[in-house]
């Protein structure tokens, strides 16, 4: 019965600090493995983040180009119909977005 009680206490993490010495390994293989796994995961996440940034930049550029194309088309259509552009919108000069 006493042995079972002692085993139970040891199982819960109890120990006698006067009779027991705990060693901590400097090069603990488990800690090294966990650290390596965390570093690999960090590299993967950084790669995914960079890919997402590139995707977002491409979407933003495409959206800006679409807006520019729509504005140029509206100005060209207005000029072809002899209409004047609304206030704040530059008049169509026959060229592209960056001029003739």
Q: Each residue's pLDDT tens digit in the chain (100 positions)? A: 889 988 888 888 777 778 888 777 778 888 888 888 899 999 999 999 999 999 999 999 998 888 888 888 877 777 777 766 667 766 655 555 544 4
Q: Where are the beta strands (DSSP E) in the chain?
A: none
Q: Total structural domains in the chain?
A: 1
Confirm whether 73 is domain-assigned: yes
Confirm whether 55 is domain-assigned: yes
Query: How far does the chain reach from its first CA to its final CA, in angstroms?
Result: 98
Range of the domain at 15: 2-80
Residue 18 CA, chain-centre distance (Å), reads 51
pTM for this predicted structure: 0.47
Confirm whether 100 is domain-assigned: no
Q: Could you tell me the sign of the dihedral formed by the alpha carbons of 61, 66, 69, 74, in that order?
A: negative
Confirm whether 99 is domain-assigned: no
Confirm whether 51 is domain-assigned: yes
Confirm whether 88 is domain-assigned: no
């Amino acid at each position: 019965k006493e042995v079972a009680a002692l085993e139970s206490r040891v199982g819960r993490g109890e120990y006698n600090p006067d009779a027991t010495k705990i060693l901590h390994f400097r090069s603990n293989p488990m800690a090294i493995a966990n650290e390596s796994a965390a570093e690999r995961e960090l590299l993967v996440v950084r790669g995914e983040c960079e890919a997402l940034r590139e995707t977002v930049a491409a979407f933003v550029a495409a959206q800006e180009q679409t807006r520019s194309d729509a504005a140029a088309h509206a100005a060209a259509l207005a000029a072809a119909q002899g209409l004047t552009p609304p206030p704040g919108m530059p008049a169509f000069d026959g060229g592209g977005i960056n001029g003739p």
